[in-house]
Structure 1
Amino acid sequence: MSIPFELPAEDRASSPYTGWTRAHWEAVADGLLTAAWRWSTPGCALLDLPGRPSRSGVRSDGLEGYARTFLAAAFRVAGAGGDDPHGFLDRYARGLASGTRTPGRDDTESWPLILDHDVQGQPMVESASVALGLRLTAPWLWKNLDAGVQDRAEEWLRGALRHVPAPNNWYLFPYTVAGFLESVGRGDAETAAARERATELMEGWYRGDGWYADGDGRAFDHYNGWALHLYPVLDAHLRGDTGIAVRHGERLRAHLDGFALMFGADGAPLHFGRSLTYRFAASAAVSLGALTGHTPLTPGASRRLASGSLRHFLDRGALTGDGLLGLGWYGPHEATLQPYSGPASPYWASKAFVSLLAPAGHPLWTATEEPAPVEEADRVLALPAPGLLVQATRADGIVRLHNHGSDHVRPHEGESAAEDDPHYGRQAYSTRTGPTASDNVADNHLSVEVNGRRSVRRRIRPLGAGQGDGWGWAASWHRPVFAGGPPMVPGLRVESVTVAHGPYELRVHRVAGAPAGARVTHTGWATGPEESLVSALHGLHGWEAGPETVRAPRGTAYTPWARMPRLSGAAGGTTVHVCLAALTAAPGPGPLAEAVTEVTADDTGVDVVWADGGARTRVSFDPVRVTQVAGGPDGETPTKSS
């Protein structure tokens, strides 16, 4: 699809994969800002973008438009050494003066006060973008403001320090406000306390492998990159704090070691977790690593990932005809959105423009683009800390994520809440498919049916993850919950294991404690008829017949309507159910029925022998343990025991 503003000519010499250079990033930033500013209020304090209002109200939405676009403008201008050819900073300076005025009788532009997250929380989120924008542009904007405007701005921002954030990444918003105030000589005990509080919480949320939980639960998603790593590492970079830089920088490096594999060859990030309307913000951590040096990636690979992600969305309809980022993934898609999203929410994508803080002579821009990790080889990567398994295939450029550890259920929340959360509750996600809507048949899901009620997967408890040469596994258990009656069946428990082997996914489930007459169903990947994708599912044990095809009329973020394969079987007491799944772009692998030559299963474990070389995979229960031995003319040789 065409981009509604002018871009430079492609440069396939320095950017053989995307054709895009730093000049393209600047042009996109300018185009997005120019389009958004057409919706400014007269005093420039609010950008009232068109679209459905958020639950926070139109005044808060207008502040969101100001703050999030300011972040893009700040990266653009600061990265150019203060050069502001379109005069954006003058507009933001005017908006700051208007927005921080004491509300009066005829006031239409003053910003909502920052209060506790459960009273009026959204302004606290936006305070971080305002503060970071001011910090980045201080030599050209803040230092030229009247003292009265500076004082009013400080007083408004301090609301973030004096009120209660949501119990997750929100604590980094007052942290960022404090960092700005200290950078302009306005720090005190209040700012120090906000920074210390966030730092302490971050230590408690860190789980290892470069992954933070987003709060005290087990929510692992894109907030790791565009929030939990971004704010502290960028703060340390701006203040020159080597102590923080070493600790948080090494964690960013570890995160990117796995996260870099989570982009498809077409540039798409994984469609997983909430706030996906932020789109190419997913590349922020990649560029931040290149900027600060805390990355395992070469500059050429970093640019290929970042530019590939930016171009992926702009080429696929993320922009409206007048150049605005609309709510959705490509075009509008209601099921992708959260209730807190408003018309300006997509502009958190501005975080991707942290890349522009690297000047034109930085290796991020001067090195020749190199392949993305998925383009180099087939890979399987186990991430035990978050309980995730990544499976990437070079032939079709698709990356799949098998989720055995991320659920977005807070520890204090009732386990029996039966809402289906498509963004976390599915067993698998990818760079080419999205989950189905919560009121449609769930994709990639094992459901237990009791008395006509089907279960959903809520709290996920990891049981381990590991990998060998070209294969890997992850496992978890959960208690199925039900809507429309008693939410839980006492004693009912599902243990699930995914083994990635080449392009195949071996899915093993042991259902224990099911009442007589219970049934189970298992679905595969949801795809659309217009997509060049093959979604296959084949029962190996515990299913009654071949898969049927079921529809999801509301579709996914990728297709207006979707279909998927589904297996069915009987349950009761303890039963084991084994199947093969695959998602491929044509030409795909051969028939799944020919992928294995032997299957044995009981309630103690499962053995599968693969057709391609005779390797034997053993999944054991009590406790869950997965091993694989290689077959060959000299007999079986262990390749990995996990």
Structure 2
Amino acid sequence: MRRSRTCPFGLPPEDRASSPYTGYTRAHWEAVADGMLDAAWKWATPGGARLDLPGPPSHSGVRSDGLEGYARTFLAAGFRVAGAGGEDPSGLLERYAEGLDAGTRTPGRDDAESWPLILDHHVQGQPMVESASVALGLRLTRPWLWDRLAPDVQDQAERWLRCALRHVPAGNNWYLFPYTVAGFLESVGRGDAETVRARERALELLESWYRGDGWYADGDGRAFDHYNGWALHLYPLLDAHLAGDAGESARHGARLREYLESFSLLFGGDGAPLYFGRSLAYRFAASAAVGLGAVTGHTPLGPGASRRVASGSLRYFLERGAAGDDGLLNLGWHGPHPATLQTYSGPASPYWASKAFVALLAPSGHPLWASAEEAAPSEGPDRVLSVPAPGFLVQSTRADGVVRLHNHGSDHVRPEEGESAADEDPHYARLAYSTVSGPTSAANPADNHLAVAVGGARSARRRIHPLGSGHGDGWGWAGSWHRPVFPAGPPTVPGLRVESVTVARGRHELRVHRVLFAPDGARAELTGWATGPGGPVRSQLLGLHGWDTAEAEDVRAPQGTAFTRWAAVPRLAADVTGTAVLVALASLTAEPDAAPLDGVVDRVEVTGDTVTVHWAEDEARARIAFGRGTTVTVDHSP
């Protein structure tokens, strides 16, 4: 076994014959799971009910955080042992059985072992999240753990779990936590009307959140992010798979297959998943949907491509400091990164990464492990793919392995919230995200943003309204509009609206904006990608029409991003009063000899609210026509 400079776990030798892209095999996955669990269990309470990992507590408190440590590592242990047919060389299940007994004996008591009660999400909700991991761990390991428990321990565990069915979840993927608990109880002969209703309610809501193209909104709004893969698809399909329910497997599996058509493209050539949305400290959990698709057979990917994506993601993080020298997963992206976190993140939160180990449910002879690795979708020809349901435009380039997502549909504003009442969230509000860059912090200049400045106050983009999308051979587009909100001034300006269209072609991004009803003295500012000094990734931004100058200035973002401690952001500016049409060209590239942008476009014609851009390379033409109200049409022709 060897230990790499950045990975603290002992790993087998690489196998470049069967895994030419990553060198990882199933044995590597088992070794990582064992290493993660061994490191975490060093922090267990004497009775094993809590794993009190070191670090600042979440807003739920240290007792809930300790339960989180138990529950989330139990997921990894469950996949590890179940995938090995019950083999448990480290004696993990005995420890989890003892912890289950100690934790559920007197729940709610303020002592070193007792688990907190499961209450409504707004009172003491975090234990409901963890109840699903406990239930899933028990279901995966039933023959070797649950079936060997004393009846009184089974009864006390059921009493604690049932609280998840009797309290109110948050209005999003949380409804799948009691669904998962109910599924376990039914699988061990403890189902009743209460479990049936919990499952029916979750599926009713899940259906109402389905938007098409395999994508769910995470609740009643328009939040589309990694929760699609590691929650909204994972729980119902895995439940059906474990139950042997062919009908439900086919129904949920069809949607997973469609989801993976676009989602599998969101992993870069270096293995990185897209940096976008909340809970990014879960890191390689992003590959859970890919692994589940391979395990269940509901995937458009070949087994070699599935393994390349999943193993690539695992290796990407292990080689970039996701686990410290002590083997504990830290709170961040590469290494620790506070700006990545939400207030619900505690020391054990990163262990939802355990969901990636669903791939271990495929035994050693399964095609996922027996087939040779193949190229990931992003390693094929350059692609531009529109995904209408979430309002995404995905752009990947083979030369540098960079994947970019242009966001014209996902926000983090709840339906009941007014736009001015919502907090600005850099992980949703920006125009674009990638696998090699992250957004700047809310305290620094915003990257990939069209701001309107009125009276010195810059606007934010919150609720996003899609205008449409489409793609053709080698190009694609997506558009949206938003009402600028001013966090540091009057909340809104009457009538002010920004319409935005991105046209992607190769590595280039044509960014077209129409600003409507801008007051006298208003300024528009467009920023590009945030990148660090001297790094391999370059950000380019060029004004084509309506801007003060063609050349962008660099503004500083000292708090950096998840990828660099310090960043610079290119910015264009222009005076806007009434209606203004603005056109720019942007690029994010890791090509060392990437050409400047000034020769990419031959000319730009703006007639009223219609923009025609002529590409220099082949004289192709992109035409963007803004209509009355909030409509836009885009076409691209040779």
Same fold (TM over 0.5): yes
* 1:106 Cα offset (Å): 7.2
Given the alignment, which residue of 567, 574, 598 partners 1:569?
574
Amino acid at match of 1:570: D
Unaligned runs of 5+ in 2: none
Q: Which amino acid aligns with 1:187?
A: G
Partners in 2 of 1:207 and 1:106 — Cα distance? 44
> Which of 466, 474, 484 does residue 478 from structure 2 map onto?
474
Summarize the Cα distance change of 1:471–1:148 in structure 2 as closer, same or farther, 3 Å threshold: same
Matches within 5 A, 1:225-244: 225-244=229-248
Corresponding residue of 1:555: 560
- In the TM superposition, what is the alpha-carbon distance from 1:460 to its structure 2 partner? 0.2
User: 2:544 touches 2:583 (CA, 8 Å); kept in 1?
Assistant: yes
| Residue 181 of structure 2 corresponds to residue 177 of structure 1 | yes
Deviates more, 1:106-115 or 1:428-437: 106-115
Asked if the contact 1:534/1:588 (under 8 Å) is kept, the reply is no
- Write the distance in 2 (CA, Å) between the matches of 1:601 and 1:54: 52
* 8 Å Cα contact 1:503/1:589 also seen in 2: no
Moved over 3 A (4+): 103-106
1:438 aligns with 2:446: no
Q: SS state of the match for residue 447, structure 1?
A: strand
1:156 to 156, 160, 163: 160
The one of 558, 575, 584 equivalent to 1:579 is: 584
Unpaired stretches in structure 1, ≥5 consecutive residues: 631-642
| Cα shift readout 1:505-552 (whole Å, capped 9, x = no counterpart) | 000000001100000101100001141111000000111012101110
Matched residue of 2:440: which SS?
A: coil
> Quick check: 1:498–1:506 contact (8 Å CA) kept in 2?
yes
Tell me which amino acid in the other structure corresponds to 1:618: R
> Which of residues 359, 362, 366 in structure 2 aligns to 1:362?
366
**Structure 1 equivalent of residue 603 of structure 2:** 598
Determine the C-alpha separation between the residues in 1 that align with 2:405 and 2:110. Answer: 52
Measure the CA separation in 2 of the matches of 1:494 and 1:199: 37
Q: Indicate the residue corresponding to 1:208 in structure 2.
A: 212
Instruction: After TM superposition, give the deviation of residue 603 of structure 1 in Å.
Output: 4.0
| Partners of 1:105 and 1:220 in 2: CA distance | 38
Seen in structure 2, the aligned counterparts of structure 1 residues 104 and 615 have a Cα distance that, compared at 3 Å, is closer
Q: Per the alignment, in what secondary structure is the counterpart of residue 539 of structure 2?
A: strand
- 345, 366, 374: which one aligns with 2:378: 374
Question: 2:466: which partner in 1?
Answer: 462
The 5 Å alignment of 1:525-540 reads 525-540=529-544
TM, length-normalised to structure 2: 0.98
Q: CA deviation at 1:102?
A: 1.5
Aligned CA distance change for structure 1 residues 595 and 265 (closer, same or farther; 3 Å) = same
- Kindly tell me the number of residue pairs found equivalent between the two proteins: 630
Cα contact 2:420–2:487 (8 A) shared by 1? no
Does 2:429 align with 1:425?
A: yes
Give the 3-state SS of the residue equivalent to 2:419 in structure 1. coil
The whole-number CA distance in structure 1 between the counterparts of 2:65 and 2:458 is 38
8 Å contact kept, 2:408–2:480: yes
Shift of 1:498: 0.2
Question: Would you say the 8 A contact 2:109–2:116 is kept in 1?
Answer: no
Cα distance in 2 for partners of 1:597, 1:105 equals: 72
1:619 counterpart (617, 621, 624):
624
Give the distance between the partners of 1:628 and 1:328, measured in 2 at CA. Answer: 41
SS of residue matched to 1:416: helix
Q: What SS does structure 2 have at the residue aligned with 1:613?
A: coil
Paired residues of 2:261 and 2:300 also in contact (CA < 8 A): yes
> TM-score, normalized by length of structure 1?
0.97
Q: 1:30 pairs with 27, 31, 34, which one?
A: 34
Q: Which residue does the alignment assign to 1:66?
A: 70
Displacement, 1:464?
Answer: 0.3
One of 401, 404, 415 as aligned partner of 2:408: 404
Aligned to 2:527: 523
After superposition, the C-alpha distances for 1:468-516 in whole angstroms (9 at most, x for unaligned) are: 1000000000000001332011100000000001110000000001100
Query: 1:188: how far off?
Result: 0.3
Q: Does 1:607 align with 2:615?
A: no
Alpha-carbon displacement from aligned partner over 1:418-466 (angstroms, at most 9, x marks no partner):
6321000000000000000110000000100001110000000000000
2:108 pairs with 1:100: no
8 A Cα contact 1:117 1:165, kept in partner: yes
Alignment of 1:55-94 (within 5 A): 55-94=59-98
Residue by residue over 1:553-599, the C-alpha shift from the partner in whole angstroms, topping out at 9 and shown as x without a partner, is 00000000100110010111000111000000133532211100010
What residue number does 1:52 align with? 56
Give the distance between the partners of 2:28 and 2:101, measured in 1 at CA: 32
Per the alignment, in what secondary structure is the counterpart of residue 218 of structure 2? coil
Match of 1:266, SS? coil
Deviation at 1:17, TM superposition (A): 0.3
Distance in 2 between the 1:277 and 1:195 partners? 29
**SS of residue matched to 1:262:** coil
Q: Deviations over 1:306-340 (max 9, x none)?
A: 00000000001111110000000011111111111
SS of the aligned residue for 1:261 comes to coil
Cross-structure match for 2:297: 293
SS in 1 for 2:378: helix
Aligned partners of 1:303 and 1:364 also within 8 Å: yes
Q: Which secondary structure does the structure 2 equivalent of 1:42 belong to?
A: coil
- CA drift of 1:166 comes to 0.2
Whether contact under 8 Å (1:575, 1:603) holds in the other structure is no
Q: Please report how far the alpha carbon of residue 602 of structure 1 lies from its aligned counterpart in structure 2 after TM superposition.
A: 4.2
Change (3 A) 1:409 1:418: closer
**Match among 306, 309, 312 for residue 305 of structure 1:** 309
CA distance in 1 between counterparts of 2:6 and 2:209 reads: 42
Instruction: Identify the match of residue 628 of structure 1 among 624, 628, 636.
Output: 636
Asked if the contact 2:224/2:410 (under 8 Å) is kept, the reply is yes
Letter of the structure 1 residue corresponding to residue 635 of structure 2 = T
The letter for the 1-side match of 2:168 is: V
User: How far apart, CA to CA, are the structure 2 residues paired with 1:338 and 1:409?
Assistant: 16
Cα RMSD for the two superposed structures: 1.0
Q: Distance in 2 between matches of 1:615 and 1:310?
A: 40
What's the offset of the Cα at 1:103?
A: 5.0
Q: 1:399, 1:5 → 2: CA distance?
A: 29
Contact 1:124 1:160 in 2 (8 A): yes
Q: Quick check: 336-345 or 603-612, which moved more?
A: 603-612
Contact 1:418 1:456 in 2 (8 A): no
Name the residue aligned to 1:635. none
State the shift of 1:105 in Å: 7.2
Equivalent residues of 1:510, 1:603 under 8 A apart: no
